Amino acid sequence: MDMERNKTGGLVADPIKFPHGMKAVADYVHAKGLKFGLYNCAGTKTCAGYPGTRRYEYHDARLYAAIGIGYLKFDWCSSDGINAKEAYTTMRKALAVAGRPIVFSLCEWGNNKPWEWAANVGQLWRATGDISNCFDCLEDHDTWKQLGVMQIIDKQKELRKYAGPGHWNDPDMLEVGNGMNA
């Protein structure tokens, strides 16, 4: 997406990276028999500085449906002063009326205990901060921390009771091929 919204408030695909727009990309992916997903944020900006969805939830949900996405990862950057449960619920409502089933992945790093309230909001929620490519470490980046594999696994013991068909704890990603060795 482009760094700014257009005059009507719409998200704009970067014309250099996506000269035919995001719908063309989604159509290509679908033609290969695959699903297509996008990323955005509940805040005013994404973690990379692109436009977030705050105050544009219904507008963006209609765009996602028109593009043909089947998965939305919804992050939590630039979200100061926003209530997580309310923000994610608003986006869930927007997705529900957009006219296309979209898997909704909440990613607020477990800061607001989504496992206690998100089963009726999305299909999965991040239960931890970001993972780092180490087994047993904590990487401090001043405003945020990355956890090692073991720290993330240890957190899952108490959270597994909140997961089940259609609603899952998301312990972030595997670090396969990202510098970890046996």
> Which of the residues are catalytic?
75, 130
Contact 68, 100 (CB under 8 A): yes
Structure tokens at 143: 């405003």
List, as one string, the DSSP characters of the chain.
Answer: --SS--TTS-----TTT-TTHHHHHHHHHHHTT---EEEEESSSB-TTSSB--TT-HHHHHHHHHHHT-SEEEEE-TT-TT--HHHHHHHHHHHHHTTTS--EEEE-STTTT-GGGTGGGT-SEEE-SS-B-SSSS-EEE-SS-EEE-HHHHHHHHHHHGGG-BTTBEEE-----TTTT---
- Let me know: does 27 contact 63? Beta carbons within 8 Å: no
